[in-house]
Amino acid sequence: MNETRKLFVKSFGCQMNVYDSQRMADNLAPEGYVETATADDADLVILNTCHIREKAAEKVYSELGRIRVMKEAAAVEGRRLVIAVAGCVAQAEGGEIMRRAPAVDLVFGPQSYHRLPDLLARAERGEKPVDTEFPADDKFNHLAAPSRAALRRRGVTGFVTVQEGCDKFCSFCVVPYTRGAESSRPVRQVLAEIERLADAGVREVTLIGQNVNAYHGEGFDGRPWSLARLLAHAARISGIERLRYTTSHPGDMTDDLIAAHRDLGALMPQLHLPVQSGSDRVLAAMNRRHHRADYIDVVARLRHARPDLALSSDFIVGFPGETEADFAATLDLVGEIGYASAFSFNYSARPGTPGAELPDQIEDKVKSERLQRLQREIDRSQAAFNRRSLGETFDVLFERPGRHDGQIVGRSPYLQPLQVNAPQSLIGEIAAVTVTEISSNSLFGVLAPAPARQPALLGAEA
């Protein structure tokens, strides 16, 4: 039996990093590592980093400054604190991280974390390993499966990575460089992981990937299966009541995936479909490979298949060369589509991407002013969507205790969080809730006496 050591993993960025962090912890459990909630008493701290925007990457260095102080304090007490940097900053900067932050003991990229036990052994011997390779063998074949107890602690909703990397090369984006070429996990492997989650009480699974709807994993017949086909099989797993997937590229919304939104009861009526900009000129400069009209058309087809579909998106403002007219086209698109929610970001020039080399970089002041205007438009859109929920009843999956005593929080089929006064014993259950109050985009509800009707009520106004 290995001696018990404490592990603290901090995730930055997207859901894929949250998932990777969990798998790192799973892989270290057989080595005797148990997770702890803070870095203070940890023997090993892993920062699982994000490189998507400059601010995200810089956060890592300020965090490393704080942890270096803890490492020094631990040394005074005669303890060794090992610091590891993982994820996309690790992939992009490699050994440079150790030059900037010498307290770091090891650096490894998103494709190398199955080799963590070996990397740690080397770090303990005083080496400073850096592993940012894209190995030919699939890391998922080497990762230890999580224990049932670990899965139960993580709650009633779970993520499963089904696809990694990206071949689209949008001109602003580091993902194709940090996560590598697009690859899909085999159907059998994905379904086995979902079965394990279901067995541990998970009711809702979100299939994740940088470009998840490009999924083409090997199926039972040895041929590539589409995401729609994978979802159909996942929906048959006993205990799995709800399915979602994220993040999708508009160009990969195939007919079978659109039809799945009509035919698959477990597939929730909600979709994150980033458009980035409403201007064709900017979309072309971004190398998004679709026009504004294509996006509008795909949304129309989705809403034809599933009229109550709640949509969300990502937007980038201030891409090089973006004029006021281009930006107005983005504002206009938000109004035209009608989003349930959306993320919006100032463009951040990332070293090594084509966007960073473009002339006409936009001043920060202009970007920030446009971002504020866009966020006001998104808020209006979200408020309109939420208002349509008032007085409606739908099924809510309760996930955790609420902020106040006696409250629990769950999510509607449209991914809206809902606070309800109800017993904690309902956590993990799906129950009908009537929305009674909306306050600055927070929804409150009461348990409904009657069963919820199928969610088909938030008919799109567009």
Would you tell me which residues interact with ligand SF4 (CB under 6 A)? Answer: 166, 168-170, 173, 175-176, 210-211, 249
Q: Does 253 bind ligand SAM (CB under 6 A)?
A: no
Among 17, 111, 213, 276, which residue sits at the site for ligand SAM (rule: CB under 6 A)?
A: 276
Task: Name the residue nearer to ligand SF4 (CB basis): 6 or 249.
Answer: 249
Question: Is 247 near ligand SAM (CB under 6 A)?
Answer: yes
- Closest CB 291 distance from ligand SF4, rounded Å: 16
Q: Is 374 helix (H, G, I), strand (E, B) or coil?
A: helix
Please say which residue, 177 or 345, places its beta carbon nearer to ligand SAM.
Answer: 345
For residues 25 and 116, give the distance between their C-alpha atoms in angstroms, rounded to a whole number. 10
CA angle 234, 228, 262 (to 5 degrees): 100
Nearer to ligand SF4, 313 or 393 (CB): 313
- Does the protein bind ligand SAM through residue 200 (CB under 6 A)? no
Q: Which residues pair with 442 in a beta bridge?
A: 439
Q: Which does 158 bind (CB under 5 to 8 A by kind): ligand SAM, ligand SF4, none?
A: none
- The answer to whether residue 172 forms part of the interface with ligand SAM (CB under 6 A) is yes
Which residue bears the tokens 């040895």? 222
H or E stretch covering 121: helix 116-124
Residue 170: CB minimum distance to ligand SAM, A? 6
Nearer of residues 33 and 347 to ligand SF4, judged by Cβ: 347
Binding mask 207-236 for ligand SAM (x = CB under 6 A): ---xx-------------------------
Residue 169 binds: one of ligand SF4, ligand SAM, none (C-beta under 5 to 8 A by kind): ligand SF4
Residue (124 or 167) nearer to ligand SF4, CB: 167
Contacted entry of ligand SF4, ligand SAM, none for residue 220, CB cut-off 5 to 8 Å set by kind: none
Which residue, 170 or 240, has its beta carbon nearer to ligand SF4? Answer: 170
> What is the nearest approach in angstroms of ligand SAM to the Cβ of residue 292?
15
Segment (H or E) for 324: helix 324-337
- The one segment of 68-76, 125-133, 153-161, 169-177 that binds ligand SAM by CB under 6 A: 169-177
313 residue type, one letter: S
DSSP-assigned beta bridge partners for residue 311: 271
Out of 27, 330, 348, 393, which residue is the one contacting ligand SAM (CB under 6 A)? 348
What is the three-class DSSP state of 206?
strand
Distances in Å between the alpha carbon of 241 and those of 194, 237, 264, 277? 12, 9, 11, 34
Among ligand SAM, ligand SF4, none, residue 176 binds (CB under 5-8 Å by kind): ligand SF4
Q: Would residue 318 be called left, alpha or beta, if left means φ above 0 and alpha means ψ between -120 and 50 degrees?
A: left
Q: How far apart are CA 105 and CA 101, in angstroms?
A: 10
Out of 7, 14, 197, 271, the residue judged to bind ligand SAM by CB under 6 A? 14
Nearest to 130 by CA among 86, 82, 165: 86
14 binds, among ligand SAM, ligand SF4, none (CB under 5 to 8 A by kind): ligand SAM
**Closest C-alpha among 202, 213, 215 to residue 261:** 213
Q: Is the dihedral of CA 176, 179, 180, 184 positive or negative?
A: negative
Residues in CB range of 182: below 8 A, 6 or more apart:
163, 164, 165, 166, 167, 210, 211, 214
Q: How far is the CB of 68 from ligand SF4 (least distance, A)?
A: 32
Task: Write the CA distances from 324 to 245, 318, 367, 373, integer angstroms.
Answer: 34, 10, 11, 12
Binding partner of residue 314 among ligand SAM, ligand SF4, none, CB under 5 to 8 Å per kind?
A: ligand SAM
CB of 94 to ligand SF4, least distance (A): 21
Of residues 65 through 124, those in contact with ligand SAM by CB under 6 A are none
Of ligand SAM, ligand SF4, none, which one does residue 53 interact with (CB within 5 to 8 Å by kind)? ligand SAM
The residue count of the chain comes to: 462
Do 27 and 56 touch, CB atoms closer than 8 A?
no
Contact status: 347 vs ligand SAM (CB under 6 A): yes
Q: Residue 106 contacts by C-beta under 8 Å, 6 or more apart in sequence?
A: 82, 83, 84, 85, 119, 120, 122, 123, 128, 129, 130, 131
Q: How far is the CB of 81 from ligand SF4 (least distance, A)?
A: 34
Should residue 177 be labelled a site residue for ligand SAM when binding is judged by CB under 6 A? no
CB–CB of 411/396 below 8 Å? yes
Residues within the interface to ligand SAM (CB under 6 A): 14, 52-53, 172-173, 175, 210-211, 247, 249, 274, 276, 314, 316, 345, 347-348, 350
